[in-house]
Amino acid sequence: MKEFFEQIREKVEEIKNSPGTIFGLVFPYFLIVGILIGLYFISKLEFLSRQKVPPTLRDTVVVADLQMREAKVVPPVKLSEIKNASPQLLSEGETLYKSNCASCHGETGAGGGPASAGLNPAPRNFTSLDGWKNGAKLSQIYTTLQEGIPGSSMVSYDYLLPEQKFALAHYIRTNFVPDPPEDSQSDLDALDATYNLSAGQELPAQIPVAMAKTVISQENKQYLDKVEVALNKIESSPNKNFFSRVTNNGKLALMFLVKNFNNINSEQNFKKIVLINVNQNGFNGNVFNLSEQEWSDLYKLITSVI
Ligand code: HEC
């Protein structure tokens, strides 16, 4: 046993003294480790290439649909009158200010309202003329209320009536702004022209495009169902051949009639409606040769099936 250890000790001594042998012993380990790293890399190649930044950045632009909006009539205002702060406008302004604006701009108009914490930029301090973006003229505050200040929490209040926006602007200018700057006549004219103030406006109702599509396809579905029923009735009626003689496309003709159902309230109207756009509406030129009796029959047939 002792000899065995002795032998090993000698061997170790020997190896220590010859660097070539050390290299010979160590080299295979490095080689194997190197090959393993290589294999690991190859096995992950697909994963690595997937992690590369794509050559073009993904399109993250979200196309916003139209907002739902009720039709609204914006009553005209007389600028020559509304440009003056009447007691009535001021009290209307006060009510509006307290319920819509004080949370950010503060009851005293100096900013720092309870909802202003952490807002950047901070809500404007109306008691100083420093740093206003649009400005403190009547027309400028009106513009701020109409458009909002992009990039800040000052949103647009365009849903308020013109009179309410003037009331707010007067309230702020009268109670908070020191020496509020006056509008020139051309400022007021420009404001009038921009927002059609003295003419008033009728804003049509608006629904999101996506919703409009659903509504239209639902309507079409109803029409199609009716056309299907009407076609079946005609197929099983003795006037089947008569109908196919005057139409190129029976389905199209029925669709046209179903859609115009409300206008087909007399034989006379029926005749007129069919004769407009013959061919496009599914009927054909034979309708021009129909006798009065045949028109009458066609009218009866159609009104009995749709
Ligand atoms: C959610 C908080 C908030 C509310 C509510 C709010 N505002 Fe503001 N408002 C701001 C902020 C923030 C600014 C500063 C924007 C900037 O400097 O970019 C601002 C700025 C303004 C300005 C100055 C615009 C200028 O020219 O720099 C006016 C005027 C104004 N607001 C009026 C109002 C009125 C009137 C109301 C109520 C109808 C209202 N704000 C409600 C946050 C608010």
**Mean pLDDT to the nearest integer, 150-169:** 94
Q: In this structure, is the dihedral angle defined by the CA atoms of residues 179, 174, 136 and 183, taken in order, positive or negative?
A: negative
User: With a 6 A CB cut-off, is 169 part of the ligand 1 pocket?
Assistant: no
User: With a 6 A CB cut-off, is 167 part of the ligand 1 pocket?
Assistant: no
CA of 63 to the centre of ligand 1 (A): 27
Dump strand ranges (E) for 28-168: 72-74
d(CA 208, CA 67): 6
Smallest CA separation from ligand 1 atom 18, residue? 152
Smallest CA separation from ligand 1 atom 34, residue? 101
User: With a 6 A CB cut-off, is 154 part of the ligand 1 pocket?
Assistant: yes
User: With a 6 A CB cut-off, is 299 part of the ligand 1 pocket?
Assistant: no
User: In whole angstroms, how large is the CA radius of gyration of the chain?
Assistant: 41
Mutate to test the pocket of ligand 1, among 90, 95, 99, 104 (most ligand atoms within 8 A of CB): 104
User: With a 6 A CB cut-off, is 103 part of the ligand 1 pocket?
Assistant: yes
Higher pLDDT, 69 or 115: 115
pLDDT tens profile 33-82: 999 999 998 888 777 766 666 656 666 666 678 878 888 888 899 999 99
Q: Is the separation of the CB atoms in 77 and 198 below 8 Å?
A: yes
> What is the value of pTM for the model shown?
0.57
Could you confirm whether domain 72-203 is CATH 1.10.287.130? no
pLDDT, residue 173, reads 97
pLDDT, residue 277, reads 82
Asked whether residue 18 carries a pLDDT value surpassing 90, the answer given is no
Q: Is the separation of the CB atoms in 151 and 79 below 8 Å?
A: no
pLDDT, residue 53, reads 60
pLDDT, residue 165, reads 97
pLDDT, residue 153, reads 93
- Which of 157, 154, 150 shows the shortest CA–CA distance to 195? 157
pLDDT, residue 59, reads 67
d(CA 20, CA 234): 104
pLDDT, residue 46, reads 76
Max avg pLDDT among 117-121, 145-149, 261-265: 145-149
User: With a 6 A CB cut-off, is 226 part of the ligand 1 pocket?
Assistant: no
User: With a 6 A CB cut-off, is 144 part of the ligand 1 pocket?
Assistant: yes
Q: What are the phi and psi torsion angles at 300 (to 5°)? A: -65, -45
CA angle 8, 13, 15 (to 5 degrees): 95
CA of 125 to the centre of ligand 1 (A): 9
pLDDT tens profile 183-216: 999 999 999 999 989 988 887 888 888 888 888 8
pLDDT tens profile 125-152: 999 999 999 999 999 999 999 999 999 9
Asked whether residue 124 carries a pLDDT value surpassing 90, the answer given is yes
Task: State the DSSP code for 206.
Answer: B
User: With a 6 A CB cut-off, is 139 part of the ligand 1 pocket?
Assistant: no
d(CA 280, CA 43): 65
pLDDT, residue 52, reads 63
- Which of 166, 143, 164 shows the shortest CA–CA distance to 154? 143
Smallest CA separation from ligand 1 atom 39, residue? 101
CA of 213 to the centre of ligand 1 (A): 37
CA of 83 to the centre of ligand 1 (A): 21
Helix, strand, coil fractions of the chain, as percent rounded to 5: 60, 5, 35
Q: What percent of the chain has pLDDT over 90?
A: 62
Neighbours of 290 (CB within 10 A): 18
Smallest CA separation from ligand 1 atom 13, residue? 123
CA of 123 to the centre of ligand 1 (A): 5
Mutate to test the pocket of ligand 1, among 92, 120, 124 (most ligand atoms within 8 A of CB): 124
Mutate to test the pocket of ligand 1, among 154, 159, 168, 172 (most ligand atoms within 8 A of CB): 154
pLDDT tens profile 87-114: 999 999 999 999 999 999 999 999 999 9
User: With a 6 A CB cut-off, is 109 part of the ligand 1 pocket?
Assistant: no
